[in-house]
């Protein structure tokens, strides 16, 4: 029987802090591999080493256990390298992919989270609201330090009929306006002083090869108009002295949701080539960097829009090629633009064939450090395809 593989990883905190992190009820889910690999039972040892410590654990060298252990160690080390203020944070859109992961991460790092739930009755740890009716009691915000607003109908969940486009606009503008007005009312009585009201990189429109930072302004098209209204709806909170920031989130990479699973399936079938010409720029970002960028802004003086994207964008054809290499599949069969338009209509032009070559200037200047900067390495890591020597 092959000998177990042992990983030893330095964690940049004292041993007691590392043990508390690893024993937290949220740690098991946070540290499990996102590609569906084996879930490892808690084990191993934490050894004190000066002001830091070493996590030592072993895994059998088969069935993906070593890759799962490498993910666990990398995530723990990068989490613990990032101090998080123990804030009281409200989260809307708590049931979405980003919302669920954000709540898990915040609670693991010592924050107290309050979920916003639709309806008239709230239970422990929740706030009731009805964004369609503009209903939210400002007194419910007095126990919070900040709110992260993620609610809104999914941009790419359905074809863009006129009715669907109205829903996309109303779900964002109504909810943001309801929240902003309540925060403005609560501002004078100790209510939350920070609002992170998320937005999207579609705000820039299709900008070709132009390299853009947050000063790039709004572009043209439905998504740009949507972002303008969405971000503008937060104005009442800003006028009342609440620090309002708009994280403009790029193409989020995560194997359990968002865009990546929709790209992996055709790629595994050998049909993961370029979309249209493939020349359009995709500004991508890993889910963990999204979470870090949100938490980072909770107690840093970021205001207005800030781009939540990796430091370097990729042309879509290069993205397709990197995914193909990560999956060991060919990636040369293109999806013609006309076919995408027939299938998806207007959404094809704005969500798939348009491009934005963005840089995260505001985050960089504030001292933010990304976890994931290399596209192919990130895809391999997220899909459990990282080379063992690199993972360990």
Question: Is residue 107 domain-shared with residue 167, that is, in the same domain?
Answer: yes
**Selected residue with higher pLDDT from 270 and 76:** 76
Containing domain of residue 44, as a range? 5-80
C-beta of residue 221 within 8 angstroms of C-beta of residue 165: no
d(CA 339, CA 186): 50
C-beta of residue 308 within 8 angstroms of C-beta of residue 247: yes
**Nearest residue to 79 (alpha-carbon basis) of 28, 140, 46, 30:** 30
How many domains in the chain? 2
Specify the pLDDT at position 1: 62
Specify the pLDDT at position 332: 78
Question: Is residue 55 domain-shared with residue 104, that is, in the same domain?
Answer: no
- Tell me if 273 is assigned to some domain: no
Specify the pLDDT at position 347: 86
Share above pLDDT 70 across residues of the chain, in percent, rounded to a whole number: 97
Question: Is residue 75 domain-shared with residue 115, that is, in the same domain?
Answer: no
Structure-block tokens of residue 124: 């422990």
C-beta of residue 246 within 8 angstroms of C-beta of residue 305: yes
**CA triple 81-87-91, angle to 5 deg:** 105
Element housing 58 (H / E): strand 52-59
Question: Is residue 60 domain-shared with residue 191, that is, in the same domain?
Answer: no
**Nearest residue to 339 (alpha-carbon basis) of 327, 354, 349:** 349
Q: In sequence order, which residues have a C-beta less than 8 Å from that of residue 104 and are 6 or more positions away?
A: 26, 29, 30
d(CA 293, CA 263): 24
Which of 109-118, 351-360, 381-390 comes out lowest in average pLDDT?
A: 381-390
Rg (CA), the chain: 22
Q: How confident is the model at residue 46 (pLDDT cuts 50, 70, 90)?
A: very high
- Tell me if 187 is assigned to some domain: yes
d(CA 226, CA 154): 13
Specify the pLDDT at position 120: 67
Query: pLDDT tens digits for 162-180?
Result: 999 999 999 999 999 999 9
d(CA 166, CA 160): 9
d(CA 226, CA 203): 8
Q: How confident is the model at residue 387 (pLDDT cuts 50, 70, 90)?
A: low
CATH number of the domain enclosing 109: 3.40.50.720
d(CA 157, CA 138): 32
Question: Is residue 202 domain-shared with residue 117, that is, in the same domain?
Answer: yes
Q: How confident is the model at residue 62 (pLDDT cuts 50, 70, 90)?
A: confident
C-beta of residue 303 within 8 angstroms of C-beta of residue 239: no
**Selected residue with higher pLDDT from 41 and 319:** 319
Find residue 92's DSSP bridge partners.
149
**Nearest residue to 376 (alpha-carbon basis) of 333, 332, 312, 307:** 312
Question: Is residue 21 domain-shared with residue 150, that is, in the same domain?
Answer: no
Structure-block tokens of residue 304: 């207005």
Asked if residue 338 has pLDDT above 90, the reply is: no
d(CA 107, CA 87): 10
Q: In sequence order, which residues have a C-beta less than 8 Å from that of residue 388 and are 6 or more positions away?
A: 66, 67, 70
Asked if residue 12 has pLDDT above 60, the reply is: yes
d(CA 62, CA 276): 40
d(CA 351, CA 278): 13
Question: Is residue 99 domain-shared with residue 135, that is, in the same domain?
Answer: yes
- Tell me if 344 is assigned to some domain: no
- Tell me if 272 is assigned to some domain: no
Structure-block tokens of residue 194: 């920070």
> Residue 266: helix, strand or coil by DSSP?
helix
Structure-block tokens of residue 246: 């708009």
Query: pLDDT tens digits for 283-319?
Result: 999 999 999 999 999 999 999 999 999 999 999 999 9
- Select from 80, 109, 127 the last residue of a domain: 80
Question: Is residue 42 domain-shared with residue 145, that is, in the same domain?
Answer: no
Q: In sequence order, which residues have a C-beta less than 8 Å from that of residue 124 and are 6 or more positions away?
A: none
Share above pLDDT 90 across residues of the chain, in percent, rounded to a whole number: 77
Q: How confident is the model at residue 228 (pLDDT cuts 50, 70, 90)?
A: very high
- Tell me if 329 is assigned to some domain: no
d(CA 247, CA 335): 31
Question: Is residue 73 domain-shared with residue 202, that is, in the same domain?
Answer: no
d(CA 361, CA 37): 35
* Region of residue 2 (left: phi > 0; alpha: psi -120 to 50; beta: else): beta
Question: Is residue 40 domain-shared with residue 116, that is, in the same domain?
Answer: no
Average pLDDT, the chain: 92
d(CA 357, CA 210): 6
Asked if residue 63 has pLDDT above 80, the reply is: no
């Amino acid at each position: 029987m092959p000998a177990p593989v042992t990983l030893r990883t330095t964690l940049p905190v004292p041993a007691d802090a590392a043990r508390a992190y690893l024993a937290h009820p949220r740690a098991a889910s946070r540290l499990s591999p996102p590609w569906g690999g084996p879930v490892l039972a808690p084990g191993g040892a934490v050894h004190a080493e000066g002001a830091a410590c070493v996590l030592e654990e072993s895994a059998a060298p088969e069935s993906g256990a070593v890759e799962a252990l490498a993910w666990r160690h990398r995530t723990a080390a990068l989490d613990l390298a990032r101090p998080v203020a123990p804030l009281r944070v409200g989260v809307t859109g708590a049931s979405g992919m980003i919302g669920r992961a954000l709540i898990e991460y915040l609670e693991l790092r010592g924050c107290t989270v309050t979920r916003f739930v639709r309806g008239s009755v709230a239970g422990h740890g929740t706030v009731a609201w009805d964004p369609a009716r503009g209903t939210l009691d400002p007194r419910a915000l007095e126990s919070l330090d900040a709110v992260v607003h993620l609610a809104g109908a999914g941009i790419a969940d359905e074809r863009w009929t006129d009715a669907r486009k109205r829903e996309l606009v109303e779900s964002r503008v109504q909810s943001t306006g309801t929240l902003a007005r309540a925060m403005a009312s609560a501002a004078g009585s100790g209510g939350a002083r920070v609002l992170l009201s998320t937005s999207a990189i579609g705000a820039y429109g299709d900008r070709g090869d132009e390299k853009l930072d947050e000063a790039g302004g709004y572009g043209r098209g439905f998504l740009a108009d949507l972002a303008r209204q969405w971000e503008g709806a937060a104005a009442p909170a800003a006028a009342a002295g609440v620090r309002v920031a708009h994280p403009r989130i790029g193409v989020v990479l995560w194997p359990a949701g968002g865009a990546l699973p929709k790209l992996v399936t055709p790629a595994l079938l050998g049909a993961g080539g370029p979309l249209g010409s493939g020349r359009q720029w995709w500004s991508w970002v890993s889910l963990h960097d999204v979470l870090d960028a949100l938490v980072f802004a909770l107690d840093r003086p970021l205001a207005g829009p800030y781009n939540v994207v990796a430091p370097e964008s990729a042309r879509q054809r290069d993205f397709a090629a990197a995914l193909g290499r990560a999956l060991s599949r060919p990636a040369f069969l293109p999806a013609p633009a006309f076919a995408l338009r027939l299938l998806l209509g207007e959404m094809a032009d704005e969500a798939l064939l348009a491009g934005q070559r963005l840089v995260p200037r505001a985050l960089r200047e504030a001292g933010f450090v990304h976890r994931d900067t290399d596209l192919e390495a990130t895809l391999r890591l997220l899909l459990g395809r990282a080379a063992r020597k690199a993972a360990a």
